[in-house]
Structure 1
Amino acid sequence: MATQAGVGLSNNKDSRQAGYEACSLAMKKAGVENPDIVIAFSSAELNQNDVIRGINEASNKAPLVGCSDAGQITNEGPNKGGVSVMVIKSDSIKFIPGTGGQISSGARESGAALAKDISGKTAEPLKLLMMLTDVLKGNGADIVRGVQDVLGQDFLIVGGAAGDDFQFKETYVYYYDQVLPSSIVGVGLSGNFSVGIGVRHGWTPVGLSKKVTKSSGAVVEEIEGKPAVTIYEEYFGKKAEELKAEPLAIMAITYPLGMSVEGSDEFLIRDPITVDEKGAITCAAEIPEGSEVRLMIGSEDDAIAAAKDAAQKALEQLGGVQPKAVVIFNCIARNKLFGRDAGEEIQAIQSILGVNVPLIGFYTYGEQAPIGGNVARPFSCFHNETVVIMALG
């Protein structure tokens, strides 16, 4: 049997029917009746409970993990407003689903709870953890740290933050037949299989490195002793009033902040969202006080090149084994950068991994992955504006 996978997509406006159709199509393509794992991503515009009900009816209540999203990704390219499902059956990979509960009671604690739940269900060593989490109610970086507290700093973590179609109000994760708000779920993988991870953003630093002198979580108050917004004012010549709210969020799609990482020449991308009256910038993820940051610049061409490079890295790590299934976690900001041309990025990935390899993914509110996609010596972090590719062989 080896590993069989299939992907289905439905844009049916009837939520239950959309779930049923997507899962039925995935099972038909995989040629399986009782999958080992179901991975599902759905528009938050649909009735979440009905979507999961439809998927469970089609899959014979197979183990399921998934989340609401800001857009689906399949072999057909980007999609909005629908349901995408991947089913996998394998005699070489064991899938262990788990949950860490609601993260509002403590993001780091929820990450640790997820790791304990999954690792406690198997005696076999885990190879990796695929994690899906809310980040509107908790610190994404702390969730990753919580997993590492249990499984170790060098444990391989990949995943994405759930979305709600760019509304930023409430996201959901799926666990078997449950739809859980503000929560975290995941699936551990063990067994005899190959995995390749590609992680790239494509942004290039401009200007000098500057020190964050005052911050709290995702709110950067001062950079080099000045209001944080001055890093944009000095470069673009615009006053803080002009950069408040939406204008900065739009500008940051092309000019995010890059945070230096000790021991690496890679930058962790941070996506500025709003500016307050004092010039403090709220980002989509934390920037700790004392961090060195730089303004970053990017383009569609750079983003496509980064996606191809990520796919190539994932393929190389499979060691000559052909990918059987591919999962993509792609930041919604990248989708906004491309606009109508978002499909070009997915095509670039497929040009490396193969157009017929079952592929699923979603547009995220953040990504979890090792810096640089290093599987041999992974140090997983929380990213923004980055494409993460997981290939299973």
Structure 2
Amino acid sequence: MKTVQLKRKNNSDWKYLSEEIKLKEPLVLVFGNRFLLEGETIYEEIRTIFKDGHIVFGSSCGDISSESIDENTITITAIEFEKSNFVIKTTNFLDSGLDSKIDSFLVGKELINQFSEEGLKHVFIVSEGSFINGSQLTKGMNAATNDNLLITGALCGDDARFEKTISSYNENPKPGEIVAIGLYGESLEVTFSINGGWTPFGPERIVTKSKGNILYELDNLLALDLYKKYLGENSKELPGAALLYPLKVKSTNDKQSIVRTILNINEEDNSMILAGDILENSKVQLMMTNVDNIVNAAEIAAINANKYRQNKPQLAILVSCIGRKLVLDQRVEEEVEEVIEVIGNQTTFCGFYSYGEIAPFNGENNCQLHNQTMTVTLISE
């Protein structure tokens, strides 16, 4: 595997972060600020650098490279696979005018069904993050694989604006796009891990009214009113403040609890819109964290992803959550630095801060939508 990394801040020239070498038909991952990716010539510009590249775009809440974490930048990571190969499939529900009636389960199932199963080792997802129901998307992808394929990835981001996310393959980034990268090859070794570092507090409550990803009532009380009560003065900063106080959700159907970010609120009906489904009769609890807990959790994720590997990883794709970034603030570099220290600086690191992380729970095969985690995917061939 050979890799090249470049970065551009605002509209400055591209800066190579690695040795400038020629790659053959590379996978080109382009993560960055949504406004910069909306430039009319962005695809053409990158095409001139990687003439035979397969270019995948994704908007972020901050992009991650081996060198730094930045907000108003675009980071390119180009990868030449020397012993294996990849296939890229896409879908866009906005092209069919389905934005108001999205069947996210069907979208996920049909996307994965496009891949040939023979030799398929891993699928990495770069999904739009504005319209899709990530919980149903992952359930649909699992249904297409009988829970027998490692799928990791992310929902694209737009900093803390939550206005629009964009992604694409071999064209200018656009809304509604989901890109799936399938990796094939006997020599491929892919491992992963996730960890959060959030601590529950306050009483556990029962979801008494919900629909999809909208939470209406807890213990027969209006959910938003109850949430505001716990936040106190911080409730004035909603919906932004909600990123700092997610919910621990334990469904009667699930073995493990999952963290759910509150993306928005509706003052008219006192409801909260979550990043994924929340089922009635689920048990929920508020969560909080601090910088040290988040950094420690990132270190543990790296250790677990690296623990049982036979070969040293050549590429590490890191996906962390916008909520973690807000907590870390000026110390945002620290969680990535911990991962690099564990994995080693001979590995190429890329990734971004997202609206949702896609991966199985540790020790499981079926992928889930997570919030507020550091997800580490390690690849070698």
* TM-score normalised by L of structure 2: 0.90
Question: Which among 367, 382, 392 is matched to residue 369 of structure 2?
Answer: 382
Q: Distance in 1 between matches of 2:330 and 2:195?
A: 21
Residue 182 of structure 1 corresponds to 176
Q: Distance in 2 between matches of 1:70 and 1:266?
A: 25
Residue 4 of structure 2 corresponds to 6
Question: Structure 1 pair 232/336, CA: closer, same or farther in 2 (3 Å)?
Answer: same
**Partner of 2:154: helix, strand, or coil?**
strand
Q: Distance in 2 between matches of 1:359 and 1:75?
A: 5
Question: Which among 87, 102, 110 is matched to residue 96 of structure 1?
Answer: 87
Name the count of aligned residue pairs.
Answer: 371
CA displacement 1:19-48 (0-9 Å, x = unmatched)? xx36xx37x637333243111112111134
**RMSD after superposition:** 2.3
CA displacement 1:74-117 (0-9 Å, x = unmatched)? 11221011111111112333211110222634322222232122
Contact 1:266 1:371 in 2 (8 A): no
CA displacement 1:352-385 (0-9 Å, x = unmatched)? 011232111111111111113x3xx312111111
Q: Distance in 1 between matches of 2:30 and 2:247?
A: 31
Deviation at 1:291, TM superposition (A): 1.6
In the alignment, does 2:240 pair up with 1:249?
yes
Question: Which among 314, 331, 345 is matched to residue 335 of structure 2?
Answer: 345
* TM-score normalised by L of structure 1: 0.87
CA displacement 1:177-224 (0-9 Å, x = unmatched)? 342311211101121221121201111222333211111122100011
Question: Structure 1 pair 168/12, CA: closer, same or farther in 2 (3 Å)?
Answer: closer
Q: Distance in 2 between matches of 1:198 and 1:230?
A: 36
CA displacement 1:140-188 (0-9 Å, x = unmatched)? 1111122122122342111111122332222111202342311211101
Question: Structure 1 pair 125/268, CA: closer, same or farther in 2 (3 Å)?
Answer: farther
Residue 315 of structure 2 corresponds to 325
Contact 2:128 2:176 in 1 (8 A): yes
Residue 335 of structure 1 corresponds to 325
Deviation at 1:265, TM superposition (A): 4.2
CA displacement 1:280-321 (0-9 Å, x = unmatched)? 2222322122221111121111000100000111111323x1
Q: Distance in 1 between matches of 2:67 and 2:323?
A: 20
Residue 279 of structure 1 corresponds to 270
Deviation at 1:273, TM superposition (A): 3.3
Question: Structure 1 pair 297/167, CA: closer, same or farther in 2 (3 Å)?
Answer: closer
Unaligned regions of 5+ residues in structure 1, if any?
Answer: none
In the alignment, does 2:209 pair up with 1:214?
yes
Q: Distance in 2 between matches of 1:272 and 1:85?
A: 28
Residue 131 of structure 1 corresponds to 125
In the alignment, does 2:56 pair up with 1:65?
yes
Contact 1:271 1:385 in 2 (8 A): no
Q: Distance in 2 between matches of 1:203 and 1:363?
A: 17
Q: Distance in 1 between matches of 2:141 and 2:28?
A: 22
Q: Distance in 2 between matches of 1:171 and 1:230?
A: 29
Query: Where do residues 1-393 of structure 1 align in structure 2 (5 Å cutoff)?
Result: 3-13=1-11, 21=14, 25=16, 29=19, 31-46=21-36, 47-102=38-93, 104=99, 105-117=102-114, 119-120=115-116, 124-191=118-185, 192-232=187-227, 235-236=230-231, 238=232, 243=235, 246-247=237-238, 249-250=240-241, 252-260=242-250, 262=253, 264-271=255-262, 273-319=264-310, 321-372=311-362, 374=363, 377-393=364-380
Question: Structure 1 pair 359/135, CA: closer, same or farther in 2 (3 Å)?
Answer: same
Question: Structure 1 pair 42/53, CA: closer, same or farther in 2 (3 Å)?
Answer: farther
Q: Distance in 2 between matches of 1:183 and 1:294?
A: 33
Q: Distance in 1 between matches of 2:240 and 2:158?
A: 17
Is the deviation greater in 184-193 or in 226-235?
A: 226-235
**Residue type of the partner of 1:385?**
Q
Structure 1 outlier segments of 4+, above 6 Å:
none
Deviation at 1:69, TM superposition (A): 1.3
Q: Distance in 2 between matches of 1:310 and 1:30?
A: 31
Q: Distance in 1 between matches of 2:341 and 2:273?
A: 37
Q: Distance in 2 between matches of 1:140 and 1:280?
A: 19
Deviation at 1:235, TM superposition (A): 4.1
Q: Distance in 1 between matches of 2:361 and 2:20?
A: 32
Higher helix fraction (1 or 2)? 1
Contact 1:259 1:270 in 2 (8 A): no
Is the deviation greater in 29-38 or in 363-372?
A: 29-38
**Residue type of the partner of 1:380?**
C
Unaligned regions of 5+ residues in structure 2, if any?
Answer: none
Deviation at 1:10, TM superposition (A): 1.5
Contact 1:56 1:177 in 2 (8 A): no
Q: Distance in 2 between matches of 1:83 and 1:182?
A: 20
**Residue type of the partner of 1:243?**
S
